[in-house]
A and B are shown apart, each in its own frame.
Chain A
């Protein structure tokens, strides 16, 4: 198995870990590990290292692997929130959902034709499976920080898809992946701060004044 395939398998396993573990700190660290692995993947997947590859690879490894997790861990400490993940559905059902999602991603991506240079690569199924896992985290977890992690996992999935296009359209991939992440997380970080000040908790289950 090639190095990039091993990294993608690790990424997929981290999806399950994010959904299956009960400690919030571990969830954040897992998403950091995933982001860092993807940065390395960008450097490994492209034989000739050029400016675009370095920017996307190193940028992702630093931002996804260190900057954002540090911010989230600090928010967690400052807001003094409970360490446990509070899922809306249990851990076993979430893991089952993730398994079904990964299977569906494999089946669906087999219907999409691949360019010769991507034949036999796991990039497309891994991308779709990671997007789905991120979506599951987003919709089934109550804490704001945990939802941000879900969004990060979803973005990681899109990043994997971006790697297939890094040579053809570096601009779109760079702008899309890095700028979006940085700005969105920055703004969400501010809001998280406001939520903890306003509600004294980062549990979005308390954000229930607005409903039918």
Chain B
């Protein structure tokens, strides 16, 4: 069952690669997305047992992130055929195949409890996302891919070094060699402390690079700016969350060793720094796709900040993982339509989106309010949970800085978003532009928005219980 979650999408990717029809091939995406969602739902409902002697385990954290990621894939893949139809000038063979393989390797990251295999899966995900970023085959997207691969590979290399350090901390303690998460958590108290600390720093920097935390975020604006909106949504809501989950797995080992406080301070610092860097670069940002990239840097910062604050903020952080991912779906998919209608992604060439592409313009505006934490949307609830946990933990400096930075982000992002949405489309003859808004390219974003709004108003008890269980990943002795 768990193995099928990994191999079925990869198999479909192979089929997509050999299928000759450019017109029919994109329909493999919704098919694959639906199959993955169905399998995920069954695996969660039946509590699928571990496979391959503990290499594949569906734990509570995996249940949350896999369940959410599967919904994200499904909705984004519903959008894909409509998008690829409008981009019929570009061959889609590699694009569709890589998207499907991406689903398989992502599932492997979330399911495996073997830390070496997790590393391999993340590396594979990075490699198969490179052709996705290069879909437009122009000089700018090439530059973006180069930076993405170079920075990403260095991050992944550091994560490998960290994994080796972690293994050495067990070797030094004369423990039986194992890289299974559960073994390391059990043996946590015996691990060599200096090696463990160095390992966590390397792993945090390495996987933090994949997450896009500042100051390792430099690939992100370029990659999100040049990639198709659909790919941006999958990276911002999918891959970055996988890297976050990897960090949480190592945090669990550290907490089992009784060294959680060390990791916490690191996470609070890097989290606040990421939000601050994002705030600075969002102010007067003329390119609205890069704006979304910095928003992603900001929210990755919020995720690690929540874990760093601890207590109920961990719950808030995991809830925010879902809320942020869903809202990124609204934003990236609506922005993709705006981008296609105006053929420009800067504020100078894009005014009056509300008139030219009314639904996408409205979705972009509502998505902006949601992502900046305005009630009644989901991110408001999760950010508020983190804040109130920080207040009850007595972290007043953190609370003050966090609130201040949220205001700065709101103002910076608002100026650009309003400039895009309002006004009249200048120099564009509305009758001559073929609107990119069709049912398939609008409906998925609307569903994302409905989900974001729904989670802001009502948190279903089953979901709450999954998040509660997932938030208890820390080991207390």
Residues of A within 8 A of B (CB): 111-115, 131, 135, 138, 144, 147, 151, 154-155, 157-158, 161-162, 164-165, 168-169, 171-173, 175-176, 179-180, 183-184, 187-188, 191, 194-195, 198-199, 204, 207-210, 212
Contact = CB atoms under 8 A, between A and B. Distances in A.
Among B144, B157, B225, chain A packs the most CB atoms within 10 A around the CB of B157
A162 B168 CA distance: 10
B221 interface: yes
Nearest to B285: A212
A151 B167 contact: no
B153 A151 contact: yes
B194 A172 contact: no
Contacts of B164: 158, 161-162, 164-165, 172-173, 176
Given A172-B163, A176-B116, A207 B146 contact: yes
B464 to A, nearest CB: 37
Contacts of B157: 151, 154-155, 158, 180
Given A180-B156, A191-B130, 10 more contacts: A115-B168, A115-B172, A151-B157, A154-B154, A176-B120, A176-B160, A188-B153, A195-B142, A195-B146, A209-B140
B123 A183 contact: yes
B127 A183 contact: yes
A188 B149 contact: yes
Contacts of B443: none
Q: Which 9 A-B pairs have the closest CB atoms?
A: A168-B177, A207-B143, A172-B116, A210-B222, A161-B164, A176-B160, A158-B161, A115-B172, A112-B194
A19 B71 CA distance: 48
Contacts of A169: 116, 167, 177, 179
A164 B169 CA distance: 12
A93 B41 CA distance: 57
A115 B192 CA distance: 11
Interface in B111-140: 116, 119-120, 123, 127, 130, 134, 139-140
Contact of B172 (A113, A180, A212): A113
A198 B144 contact: no
A210 B130 CA distance: 17
Contacts of B221: 210, 212
B307 to A, nearest CB: 26
10 contacts: A113-B194, A131-B161, A157-B161, A161-B165, A172-B164, A176-B163, A187-B130, A188-B153, A209-B140, A209-B143
Contacts of B3: none
Given A158-B161, A165-B164, A151 B172 contact: no
A209 B395 CA distance: 42
B17 interface: no
Contacts of A147: 150
A161 B161 contact: yes
Among A154, A176, A187, chain B packs the most CB atoms within 10 A around the CB of A176
A115 B142 CA distance: 46
Interface in B151-207: 153-154, 156-157, 160-161, 163-165, 167-168, 171-172, 174, 177, 179, 192, 194-195, 198
A204 B222 contact: no
* Prevailing SS type, chain B contact patch: helix
B24 to A, nearest CB: 28
Contacts of A158: 157, 160-161, 164
Contact of B167 (A144, A172, A179): A172
Interface residues of B, number: 42
Nearest to B119: A176
Nearest to B123: A180
A58 B79 CA distance: 48
B281 interface: yes
Contacts of A112: 194-195, 198
A138 B168 contact: no
B142 A191 contact: yes
Contact of A179 (B120, B140, B149, B281): B120
Interface string B207-227: 000000000000001100110
A183 B125 CA distance: 12
A143 to B, nearest CB: 12
Contacts of A188: 149-150, 153
B145 interface: yes
Contact of A199 (B127, B139, B174, B195): B139
B142 A138 contact: no
A113 B116 contact: no
Contacts of A155: 157
Contacts of B160: 158, 176, 180
A155 B153 CA distance: 10
A111 B179 contact: no
A176 B116 CA distance: 8
A162 B146 CA distance: 27
B142 A165 contact: no
A147 to B, nearest CB: 6
Given A113-B172, A115-B172, A171-B116, A135 B167 contact: no
A125 B174 CA distance: 22
A209 B160 CA distance: 32
A60 to B, nearest CB: 15
A112 B166 CA distance: 12
Nearest to B145: A191
Contacts of B226: 210
Contacts of A208: 143
A194 B142 contact: yes
B161 A191 contact: no
B140 A210 contact: yes
Nearest to B174: A115
Interface in B387-433: none
A184 to B, nearest CB: 5
A84 to B, nearest CB: 21
Contacts of B143: 207-210
Contacts of A212: 221, 281
A151 B174 CA distance: 32
Contacts of B161: 131, 157-158, 161
A165 B168 contact: yes
A198 B142 contact: yes
